[in-house]
Structure 1
Amino acid sequence: MKKILSLLSAILIAAAAFAQQQHGSISGIITATDGSPVAYVTVALKGTSYGASTTDKGHYRITRVNPGTYTAVVSAIGMAPREKDVTVVAGQNTSINFNLDLSTSQLKEVMINARSNSVKMDNPSQSLRLQEPLLQVPQNIQVVSSQSLKEQQIISMSDGLVRNVSGAFRLEHWGDLYTNINMRGSQVQAFRNGFNVVNSFWGPLTEDMSFVDHIEFVKGPAGFMLSSGDPSGLYNVVTKKPTGQTKGEFSYTTGSYNLNRATLDLDGKLSNDGKLLYRLNLSGQNKGSFRANEFNNRYVVAPVVSYQVDDKTKLTAEYVYQRANMSNVGSYYVFSPNGYAQYPQSFTALPSGLPPTNINDHSVTLNMQTQLSDNWKLTAQAAYYYYGQNGYSMWADSVGRDGRYIRSVGIWDAKSTMSLGQAFLNGKVVTGSVVHKILAGIDLGNKVYNADYNQSRQLDNKNQMFDPRNPNLGVPPNGYPTFDRSLNLEARAAAGFGNIASNYSSLYVQDELGFFENKLRLTLAGRYTYIKNSNYGGAEPTAKHFTPRIGLSASIDDQTAVYGLYDQAFTPQVGRLATGTVKPLTGNNLEFGIKRDWADGKWNTTLAVYRILKNNEITADPNANPNAGLSVVLGQKRAQGIEFDIRGEIAPGFDVTANYAYTDSKVTRAVVPNVTVPSFAKHTANAWLTYKLLAGSLKGAGVAGGFTFLGDRTTDAPAPLKMADYFKLDGGLFWEGSKMRITANAFNILNKYLYSGSYYAYLQSYYYQAEAPRNYRLSISYRF
């Protein structure tokens, strides 16, 4: 056997050597007029499938090329192609360099366009307050780029986004109202441009992707980088800003269930000197559903203006308006005493005559950045958020053992206001051989949420219960409800335990010490937080807390870093207990990981292991009527697991986004017996692969595909049945030229009955939300 293996090894080695001799390779560097490297542009051999992209240092290499004479072409969006003839010799490498006649502004434009076409991003946004590439940060941070959003036809935060991040998933979809992403055993906090924009358990409204540039997922506590957040992590939506280029893009998307959507992105200058810039994003959509009587129509207006005061100071003003008109927000739920997926996938209990829910969501942000000196930069920003909702939700009032139930509709009028402020200082100080990267700042917030969900009416009665096996979606037995809106919302909210208020302020300081030419980085930080809360009209307790942070990151080489992290979290919670008051959530995180860039930074991997302990966390009381709005304290919860992410171009034209996570989450010390951890999946795995031809007559054409898997899913309460494993397969075709992109995808290709849900002890019933069967989308984008 050993002789056979030795012979096979010799044959393989000889074959590899022979293959090497039969092919040649081409390599080189692409530079601009001033010698600057031109990164992320394509080098291809004309009329063939051979090609490669340059690294961030301008290097490229094309391997396994058949001997012969070719024309090498350098191309990128915003740049005329450059050509050179090259001869490839078997067994040899041929070096050919390009020096492109590009000015500084042209080079910047080319690199911005080229980088926007990548699924891998190397640096965090300014709103994360970090002064180093993601490779050196002692924390697991994953970024979903604008290219990934485009390829996967993601049009809102609730639209398949989580497949791009290890361990992230959604339990209850709420249509397209709220995102509610879970990660590392808990629901993570929602941020936008560095602000925590959560003002109630349900919020905020899902961002439309028309004004979103990319989304950053920060694993573990991130209180030092941003503001108070959950120990499990957060996602930070980074909105589009002016780039200084004059350009535009129009996109139209159509698809199943009467989806029609148009977006317009305009980017340019308002002054000849380029100091006053603008960005305007508009979108509008009509969207139906695979269930009867459901719809979600939205439009967005999002202008941004920036002004470069001088060489050191820049001001940016941003406004976002989202308008949503959608069907009853509780219609997605299905109830059954016998288990999940008991009725047809398209089943609904929504009668046709219920009025819609209308939402108006406004936000205004002012940002100032000033370079105080070569080593010090000050950033200050303030934001005001206003959310208004007039609408209704639907739930089951009671569920019979035969499956029939009584539907109940409740009013849901809500108003949320948030006044937020931040100022932080980034600096660098050198003491001997040690480099200190300093971060210090202050966070302020005042949040008020008022909601009337205290009025409800039964649509059915005991003599005429709703029968899911023979549904009547016409006028219900008790008719349609009318609600009393004679009092203002604040008064109605006060009478129905619908008032939430939070006021906080915090100071923090962080020093990252760089040793041995920054090969070893030690992070020491501390944060002091003061919080005053009022939950559902109760008392307004105050809390003060100091949270430390220590991290260590070491570069094994220029492409590899290992890290360890310990930090704590302290954040307010929204809820009302049957007895007692809600305490702030405290927790700590211990995390270790290794990050590596491969192939000169074209793709990277991240491997992380962690353990999170959380105290005083509350969750919805499964033994109480949902209209009572009661929560219950879990006690102490532990989440631990392992995460692996791979992202980038692993071969010319071949992009991969793939991940796996194992999550073990459980209550270790329960305050109330028989209360378990909210639903989660122990195993999550995702992939999205694209291959694009870089040369030849079909240049720009490509194929894409991916899957999502959730395994070993649990429920909220002791229930005899688990949810089945989840597997969704998506894929499609695309073509992209210098001006136009056409994308066609099919979702849920296998046409599986997919759902998420749990068990509600109060109803002694399972509830679940189904996802759409096989469906399609077609997008056409034109750049000008």
Structure 2
Amino acid sequence: MSSSPSQPSRLARHHAIAAAIALLALQLPPGAQAQAAPATAASTDFHIPAQPLDQALAQLARQAGLQLLAAPELVQGRRAPAVEGRLSTTAAVARLLRGSGLEGHVSQGTLVVETPAGTGSLPEVTVSAVGETTTTEGSGSYTTGLMSTSTKLPLSIRETPQSLTVVTRQKMDDQGMLSIDDVANSATGITINRWSDDRARYFSRGFVIGSFLQDGVPVSYETDTSTYDTMAMYDHVEVVRGPTGLMTGVGDPSGTINFVRKRAPRTTQRSATLRAGSWNQAVGEIDVGGSFNEDGSARGRVVASLQSRDHFIDGYGSRRQLLYGTAEFDLGRDTTLSVGGSYVNEDNPGSQWMGVPMGFDGSFLDIARSRRFSPSWSKWDKKEVSLFADLEHRFDSGWKARLAARALQAKSALDGAYLVSGGLDELGRTRYDVAGGLYDYDKRQLSLDASAQGPVRLFGREHDLAFGVSRRTIRWSDQGYSYLSPTGEWLIANGVDPYTWNPDSLDRSGLMAEDLWTRRQKTTLTSAYATGRFLLAEPLNLIAGARLDWYDFTNAQRQGSWSREREFSEKAHATPYAALTYDINKTYSAYASYTSIFRPQDFLDVSGSMLAPVEGRNFELGLKGNYLDDRVNLAVAVFNTTQDNLPQAITDINSCTVKTNCYRSVGKVRSKGLDVDISGEVLPRLNAGFGYTFTQAQIASDSTEGVKGAPYASYTPRHQLKLSAMYHLGGELGAWRVGGGLRYQSRTTSESLTSAEGYVIRQPAYAVADLVVGWRVNQQLDLQVNISNLFDRRYFETLGTNNGGNYFGMPRKVLLTARYQF
């Protein structure tokens, strides 16, 4: 093998140690060395996942038909981003090495990787540039490359004119995130609000998030049945703050959460993870993937997880199982079919429906965090089956077409009792009454989406377009009944002392059943959408789009002689979106965006009539920046959202004339505030995430249901600060890492829920700190300990009313993790 005349000494050194290079253990297939190397300018289909740099270079060489020459000391211990798509070899090498301090060139059919001429030594780099990929697994990063959750266009975080946070696989592993609650606690601006131990809502900018995405396909989030408490199957989670009607149809102004699943790898990877923690927590996970054939055109992956734990609440436990499988097939050079599914089962014995009571004046009762206010026979069990299929075709012009389908069935079985309104006894002591019931929910969804995306050239400039059609059908089939006392009363116990409540004291055998309640509901959303990024001038882009929605809703409820049927439809409702982005320089860009809000509601008022649809608009101004070869992203945004007809739950359920919860409209509500988000490798070996949010949500005009200036959703904080970090030590301690997290939020109150009842519950501001220590024993085994709520801060995560809806935050918790890769 000959070298170029300008580099004889370097190539001679490489030849001398070539036999010892670990990379050459991954040799080309027989006969490949005899093949003529393609010209570096020719395009090749590269499929290289994020992985250690030495392995990534070996894969690139195989796929390009080249030999590989690189000194082990240059590439070992470094990571490379994923490279996907049809590229020239030169472009693929540049992407793979970006941010590494190395350079590569092809000489005589050999890919040579070396330090740039005149460079004495390399800076230590542990996290690669993210590159043009949506996959975060194996990147070692706290940020990502491309994403399309906000606009359907494959944009980087900097190019996306909206506030967003990405929780990568690395961050989930570092911070010991096992559930959606863990992700929400880490994501900028997201607040958890519980309706029960196993039923939570997620708020952003003062409003509830009603729709999720799975791989970019909208699905309805059903609090009663949805199962997102096993995160082992996901590569990363994208959290968008602000309206997302362009993606989800009838849009929530709060935002959306996109769960991006793990993909089937082309190279074999296997790992086993064991976890043990506080309250008898035990978790086992197996993750196996790889190619079914030699060329990697057929590949698959299976993830299985078993979780078992008690909780800090006495008598409450969880047993959860996850099985996820996916397979991908290259149907020719440019077409890929991906199919798969998941099964989740959750058994939650002892689950509370209503949480901890308060004093009738809103004061905290002196109750231990471990105390449970549900009978020993209570439960909230869930089961979910999901199937998906994606077909993608890539055209030589750079366009992509995609067909996607998601089918989901989620069921829950709940049985329990909860505290309701009571009073003071003759001695002035707090006493509550008890009600209960048994219910079964069955919710099914089918989501279909056909889309295309690619570049177009108009007026001498290149632009990007995306368009498509979608259809989503949601069916509910629910039934159940309230318990009645042996004498036929709705209250099954009276005068309960919250200090001495005994979960075994309520005997279910003597209870009677009220008339069976049934609910049959169907929602159909048919949509057509289009969006584009248009280069108006060299630094100025217009991102504009619109969505047309056809919405049909029917609901029928029956119980005994009572019945109620409702219908609502909307034809070709338009949701416009527009944003201007301006590239200030290579680091910073600014944007301004506008979108409208429209969301039909299925909530009933006290008389049984449907609330009018929510309508409004959102304005946002922002600044984006990226640094260090895209390894760090910065985003700052101010927003102003106005909505009409937002719902507020009626706390006095006795005033409801319907058989389910009822609501009132609070008129016009305005939410305004500030988002700041920074994430990535901010210093060598230091991954960090910083998020700050200020949100002020208030009733903006007087109405019969609200007074101007009164708070809306006062149980969400105005100020939130979230920090997370992981530092990898260097030198002799290079196998060790240390990190942690910090969450701070300002005070919250129940004012928007209970002020009309004459009392307010107040949770003072608090901060919670976490600690992480990890040790990489060898290339296969990794050990880690996570300590959550390090200083054991006592606080209420959710505020409700005096008879319940109040939930303690988790006390100090320890989680030990051992992960083995083989």
TM-score tier (shorter): 0.7 to 0.9
1:636 to 668, 689, 713: 668
2:595 to 552, 564, 567: 567
2:768 to 728, 733, 739: 728
8 Å contact 1:267–1:280 — kept in the other structure? yes
The structure-2 alpha-carbon separation of the partners of 1:534 and 1:60, relative to structure 1 and needing over 3 Å to count, comes to: closer
Deviation, structure 1 residue 637: 1.3
Deviation, structure 1 residue 647: 0.5
2:328 to 303, 306, 314: 306
Secondary structure of 1:116 counterpart: coil
Tell me the alpha carbon deviations over residues 248-292 of structure 1, each in whole angstroms, 9 at most, x when there is no partner.
111011000010010111111122332211111100111101111
Give the aligned partner of residue 451 of structure 1: 478
Secondary structure of 2:143 counterpart: coil
Q: Number of aligned residue pairs: give it.
A: 705
**Are 2:694 and 1:681 equivalent residues in the alignment?**
no
Give the aligned partner of residue 4 of structure 1: none
8 Å contact 1:199–1:448 — kept in the other structure? no
**Are 2:201 and 1:180 equivalent residues in the alignment?**
yes
8 Å contact 1:406–1:458 — kept in the other structure? no
8 Å contact 2:241–2:256 — kept in the other structure? yes
1:146 to 169, 172, 175: 169
Deviation, structure 1 residue 109: 14
Give the aligned partner of residue 118 of structure 1: 141
Deviation, structure 1 residue 332: 5.9
Give the aligned partner of residue 651 of structure 1: 683
Tell me the alpha carbon deviations over residues 45-65 of structure 1, each in whole angstroms, 9 at most, x when there is no partner.
999xxx998896735589xxx
Deviation, structure 1 residue 482: 6.3
Secondary structure of 2:312 counterpart: coil
The 5 Å alignment of 1:763-774 reads 765=803, 767-774=805-812
8 Å contact 2:434–2:493 — kept in the other structure? no
**Are 2:532 and 1:511 equivalent residues in the alignment?**
yes
8 Å contact 2:225–2:383 — kept in the other structure? no
1-structure distance, mates of 2:316, 2:510: 17
The structure-2 alpha-carbon separation of the partners of 1:637 and 1:199, relative to structure 1 and needing over 3 Å to count, comes to: same
The 5 Å alignment of 1:22-421 reads 58=97, 94-96=119-121, 115-124=138-147, 129-158=152-181, 160-172=182-194, 174-175=196-197, 177-188=198-209, 189-198=211-220, 200=222, 202=224, 204-331=226-353, 333-336=355-358, 337-339=360-362, 341-350=364-373, 353-401=376-424, 402-421=429-448
Secondary structure of 2:180 counterpart: coil
Give the letter aligned to residue 751 of structure 1. D
Deviation, structure 1 residue 444: 0.5
Give the aligned partner of residue 456 of structure 2: 429
The structure-2 alpha-carbon separation of the partners of 1:634 and 1:759, relative to structure 1 and needing over 3 Å to count, comes to: same
Give the letter aligned to residue 672 of structure 1. E
Deviation, structure 1 residue 110: 13
Deviation, structure 1 residue 226: 4.1
8 Å contact 1:40–1:111 — kept in the other structure? no
8 Å contact 2:352–2:374 — kept in the other structure? no
The structure-2 alpha-carbon separation of the partners of 1:394 and 1:123, relative to structure 1 and needing over 3 Å to count, comes to: farther
Give the aligned partner of residue 554 of structure 1: 582
Gaps of 5+ in 2: 1-22, 25-36, 55-70, 82-94, 105-111, 124-129, 558-564
**Are 2:549 and 1:529 equivalent residues in the alignment?**
yes
Deviates more, 1:730-739 or 1:655-664: 730-739
Deviation, structure 1 residue 151: 0.6
Deviates more, 1:475-484 or 1:574-583: 475-484
**Are 2:737 and 1:717 equivalent residues in the alignment?**
no
1-structure distance, mates of 2:525, 2:134: 41
Deviation, structure 1 residue 352: 5.9
The structure-2 alpha-carbon separation of the partners of 1:269 and 1:342, relative to structure 1 and needing over 3 Å to count, comes to: same
1:472 to 488, 502, 505: 502
2-structure distance, mates of 1:618, 1:747: 35
2-structure distance, mates of 1:595, 1:463: 57
Deviation, structure 1 residue 642: 0.1
1-structure distance, mates of 2:462, 2:423: 68
Give the letter aligned to residue 598 of structure 1. Y
**Are 2:612 and 1:591 equivalent residues in the alignment?**
no
2-structure distance, mates of 1:113, 1:146: 6
Give the aligned partner of residue 690 of structure 1: 726
Deviates more, 1:619-628 or 1:239-248: 619-628
Gaps of 5+ in 1: 1-30, 63-71, 75-81, 88-92, 99-106, 486-491
2-structure distance, mates of 1:757, 1:405: 20
1-structure distance, mates of 2:341, 2:200: 21
The structure-2 alpha-carbon separation of the partners of 1:752 and 1:569, relative to structure 1 and needing over 3 Å to count, comes to: same
Give the aligned partner of residue 602 of structure 1: 631
RMSD: 3.6
Give aligned-pair identity as a percent.
19
